[in-house]
């Protein structure tokens, strides 16, 4: 354990609002901790952006959260986890501060999926960037080499959610189209990972078009459980995490706009501060 370092909140980063679904589960399971959420809404979505740009934006956010006292940052964004996490862990942390940690959402999901699937055929619905990165394929096959992973990109799902159209009849068309495409590619799939933190808001519609016997796997509960296990295994990091049950919200967009949308995810009013990243 490192003495004399001030405690800080657990940082939670996402390109937009989706990471709030992860934060909600973390606060439900681990309410005693302090959290600091940062949404880079002004530059969202990250899904279609290049690896270099996602890395640059994610690094800026991580550095900002470190500067605000976070010792541990969770990338509650699949695109950032897919395109930036490894580089930040391997190249940046040793230079910035070897004692700080950045974790993602893909590995906790990969760890649990092998215990869920029976047919050993798994589907992934995610953004274009996450599917193209093949991060889920690589992480799952590292842990479960016998599992076949099939991914389908859902480029319009995030805009539907962020424009508050996720609960309209028009959303059904786009949800059914992608679910049908996934099952057509591999009819033996029995478990489907929602590989974007926004997608739980579409869960009712997703379940509506999911074939009988196929399990949908949202990430929040597994990421929250993984965080609890991580802190139990790393008491030195746990000691650096403040525990007053507080939660602050930062956005690079309008605070009022973020607060309005965040209420949908968090089921409570939130106080938000606008900050800048980058130049």
Asked whether the beta carbons of 17 and 41 are under 8 A apart, the reply is yes
The distance from CA 155 to its chain's CA centroid, rounded to whole angstroms, is 16
**Alpha carbon distance 46, 43 (integer Å):** 7
Residue in 158, 148, 152 with CA at minimum distance from that of residue 119: 148
Q: Which two tokens stand for residue 86?
A: 């490894």
154 a catalytic residue: no
Q: Which of 70, 112, 154, 196 is catalytic?
A: 196
**Alpha carbon distance 222, 21 (integer Å):** 12
CB 94: neighbour CB atoms within 10 A?
Answer: 9
Helix or strand or coil: residue 137? helix
Q: Which of 70, 77, 241, 247 is catalytic?
A: 77
70 a catalytic residue: no
DSSP letters spanning 35-58: EEEEE-GGG---TTS-HHHHHHHH
Helix or strand or coil: residue 188? coil
Which residue numbers are catalytic? 77, 196
């Amino acid at each position: 354990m490192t003495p004399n370092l001030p405690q800080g909140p657990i940082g939670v980063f996402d390109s937009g609002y989706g990471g709030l679904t992860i934060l909600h589960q973390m606060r439900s399971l681990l309410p005693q901790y302090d959290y600091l959420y940062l949404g880079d809404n002004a530059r969202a979505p990250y899904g279609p952006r290049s690896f270099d740009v996602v890395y640059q934006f994610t690094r800026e956010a991580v550095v900002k959260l470190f500067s605000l006292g976070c010792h541990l940052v969770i990338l509650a964004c699949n695109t950032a986890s897919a395109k930036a996490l490894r580089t930040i862990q391997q190249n940046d942390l040793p230079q910035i501060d070897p004692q700080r940690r950045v974790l993602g959402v893909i590995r906790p999901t990969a760890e649990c999926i092998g215990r869920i699937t029976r047919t050993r055929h798994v589907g992934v619905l995610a953004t274009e960037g996450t599917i193209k990165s093949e991060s889920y394929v690589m992480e799952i096959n590292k842990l479960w080499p016998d599992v076949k992973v099939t991914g389908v990109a859902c480029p319009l799902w995030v805009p539907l959610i962020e424009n508050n159209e996720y609960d309209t009849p028009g959303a059904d068309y786009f949800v059914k189209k992608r679910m049908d495409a996934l099952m057509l590619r591999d009819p033996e799939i029995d478990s489907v990972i929602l590989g974007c933190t926004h997608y739980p808001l579409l869960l009712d519609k997703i379940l509506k078009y999911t074939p009988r016997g196929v399990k949908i796997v949202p990430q929040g509960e597994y990421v929250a459980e993984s965080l609890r296990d991580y802190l139990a295994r790393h008491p030195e990091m746990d000691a650096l995490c403040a525990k007053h049950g507080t939660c602050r919200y930062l956005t690079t967009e309008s605070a009022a706009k973020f607060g309005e949308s965040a209420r949908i995810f968090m089921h409570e009013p939130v106080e938000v501060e606008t900050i800048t990243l980058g130049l």
